[in-house]
C-alpha cells in the first residue's frame, strides 16, 4: 500500500513527467498506480546498491531494448537528466542497445530522447 511518503518520493524522483503518467491512469487502475508508488518509489529506488545515475541508465537501456516504450523512455531520460546524467551518457546507453537488442529499437529510443533534449533545451 502506497503511503504519502511513497508518493512524495515518486514525485521527487520522476517529477511532473512521472506524476503525469500515473495521473492519466489513476481512475482506470488505482491498483497499478498504488503498485508503482509502493514498489518503484518505496522499494526499488530506495535500494542504494546502484546509485541513481547508474539505475537510470540501466532503466533507459532496458526500456529501449524492449522497444515500443517511448513514453517511458522519455520519462526516464528527463528523470536522468534532472539527476545529473549527461546527454552524452544517455546517448551512449541507447547506442549500446543497438548492438545487443537491435538498431531499430535503439533508433526509436534515440528519437524519444531527442524529443526530451529538444524540449528541455
Q: How many domains does the chain have?
A: 2
81 and 56 part of one domain: yes
55 and 94 part of one domain: yes
70 and 111 part of one domain: yes
Q: What does the pLDDT look like over 78-100, one tens digit per residue?
A: 999 999 999 999 999 999 999 99
56 and 41 part of one domain: no
CATH number at residue 57: 1.20.1290.10
Give the pLDDT score at 6: 92
The secondary structure of the chain in percent helix, strand, coil, rounded to multiples of 5, reads 80, 0, 20
Residue 17: is its pLDDT beyond 90?
no
Q: Which three cell numbers stand for residue 82?
A: 534532472
55 and 26 part of one domain: no
Nearest-10 crossing angle of helices 70-82, 4-23: 130
42 and 55 part of one domain: no
Give the pLDDT score at 49: 97
Confidence band, pLDDT 50/70/90 cuts, at residue 2: confident
Confidence band, pLDDT 50/70/90 cuts, at residue 120: very high
- In the predicted model, what is the mean pLDDT of the chain? 95
Amino acid at each position: 500500500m502506497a503511503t504519502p511518503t511513497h508518493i512524495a518520493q515518486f514525485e521527487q524522483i520522476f517529477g511532473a513527467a512521472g506524476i503525469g503518467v500515473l495521473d492519466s491512469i489513476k481512475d482506470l487502475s488505482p491498483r497499478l498506480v498504488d503498485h508503482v508508488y509502493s514498489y518503484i518509489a518505496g522499494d526499488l529506488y530506495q535500494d542504494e546498491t546502484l546509485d541513481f545515475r547508474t539505475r537510470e541508465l540501466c532503466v533507459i537501456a532496458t526500456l529501449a531494448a524492449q522497444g515500443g516504450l517511448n513514453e517511458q523512455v522519455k520519462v526516464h531520460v528527463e528523470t536522468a537528466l534532472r539527476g545529473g546524467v549527461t546527454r552524452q551518457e544517455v546517448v551512449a546507453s541507447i547506442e549500446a542497445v543497438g548492438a545487443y537488442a537491435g538498431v531499430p529499437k535503439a533508433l526509436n529510443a534515440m528519437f524519444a530522447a531527442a524529443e526530451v533534449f529538444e524540449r528541455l533545451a
